[in-house]
Amino acid sequence: MGSNLSSCVCDDGDGGSLKPRLGDIPESCVALVLMYLDPLDICKLARLNRAFRGASLADFIWESKLPLNYRFIMEKALEDDDDDAFSMEDLGKRDVYARLCKPSLFDNGTKEIWLDKKTGGVCLAISSKALRITGIDDRRYWSHISTEESRFHTIAYLHQIWWLEVEGDIEFRFPPGSYNVFFRLMLGKSSKRLGRRVCNSEHIHGWDIKPVKFQLTTSGGHVVSQSHLDNQGQWILYHAGTFVSKDSNDLMKIKFSLTQIDCTHTKGGLCVDSVFICNSGVGKGVGCFCR
């Protein structure tokens, strides 16, 4: 190394013509710059030239974007997948990241997990099939409807009931951070008529009388909030609460519920799709949830 310094000959003739071009920067240096950008920018800039593409594949860049416990998340993502025989260790870290950004069903198809592309934040969706709904087996109250408007292709529809109680829980190791919990709900039943989306509001009633109650329980505490359901014909993410994960090694048990048990009035015409949990850094929640 030392001998290079004094014996290095400037082949470009006089020093003045050696105008520094950043294209001369070694790939390793480019990779260091890329690490400060978000994954989408990194993939976009891979198009610049071959050196940039090479730099964009550096494992250390993607290790820094992956959640701390990405191996655990990978296990969940591949749980239901018998065909995926590839070994995770063989994949470059960028490919691991790409794979985890693809929504994967687990727990017998009742839950789905993916990483938000831009931030690497963990997102979870829990199907209505995995929720405990009081009276779900009674056809007078509830029915299951197949629909393309749910990522699980099925939702629970409430005709009418006095005692509305929807609850569920999940055990998971969340990367450190703050997470929002939402219930994805819609007033009214939607269907397609002659190719157009139509909303049937015949059963909607009771929501303007009293609000519904959302509860969220973790080892860190218990949060209660109230909200009036509205916006007929539109899927809305109702915020049930926020929790914080301190350590990705902690197996956290999150419990959430939606209730309206005031028995002086009935309510109905409600679609329950799922519960959605995502890292607070994920943009706007709504946009990233829709397929």
Partner 1 sequence: MSGISDTERMITLKTVEGTLFDVKSSIAKDLKTVQAFIDDSDDDVTSPIPLPNVFTRELSRILDYLNNHHRFRSGIEKADEEMARYDAEFAKSMSHEELKALILAANYLNVKDLLEFLNQTVADVIQNKSVEFVRNFFGIENDYTPEEEEKLRNENEWAFNGVEQD
CB of 69 vs partner 1, minimal distance in Å: 21
> What is the Cβ-side half-sphere exposure of residue 68, based on CA atoms within 13 angstroms?
11
Grouping H, G, I as helix, E, B as strand and the rest as coil, residue 197 is strand
The Cα 115–Cα 282 span in angstroms is: 9
Q: What is the largest CA-CA distance in the chain?
A: 92
Question: Quick one: 237 exposed, middle or buried, by C-beta within 10 A (0-12, 13-18, 19+)?
Answer: buried
Q: By C-alpha distance, which of 72, 70, 22 is closest to 49?
A: 22
The two three-digit tokens of residue 16, written as one number: 């003045």
User: Interface residues for partner 1 in 270-289 (CB under 8 A)?
Assistant: 283-284, 287-288
Binding pattern for the stretch 178-197 against partner 1, x by CB under 8 A and - elsewhere = --------------------
Q: By C-alpha distance, which of 8, 27, 6, 29 is closest to 18?
A: 8
User: Interface residues for partner 1 in 81-120 (CB under 8 A)?
Assistant: 98, 101-102, 117
221 binds partner 1 (CB under 8 A): no
Residue nearer to partner 1 on the CB measure, 50 or 193: 50
33 binds partner 1 (CB under 8 A): yes
Inter-axis angle of helices 93-101 and 70-78, nearest 10: 50
Binding pattern for the stretch 36-65 against partner 1, x by CB under 8 A and - elsewhere = xxxxxx-xxxxxxxxxxx------------
CB of 11 vs partner 1, minimal distance in Å: 10
In one-letter notation, the amino acid at residue 121 is G
9 binds partner 1 (CB under 8 A): yes
199 binds partner 1 (CB under 8 A): no
Residues of the chain by 3-state class (helix, strand, coil), percent to 5: 25, 35, 40
The Cα 80–Cα 119 span in angstroms is: 25
CB of 254 vs partner 1, minimal distance in Å: 27
CB of 222 vs partner 1, minimal distance in Å: 33
How many residues in the shown chain lie near partner 1 by CB under 8 A? Answer: 49
CB of 74 vs partner 1, minimal distance in Å: 15
Residues at the interface with partner 1 (CB under 8 A): 1-3, 5-6, 8-10, 15, 18, 20-26, 29, 32-41, 43-53, 98, 101-102, 117, 283-284, 287-288, 290-291
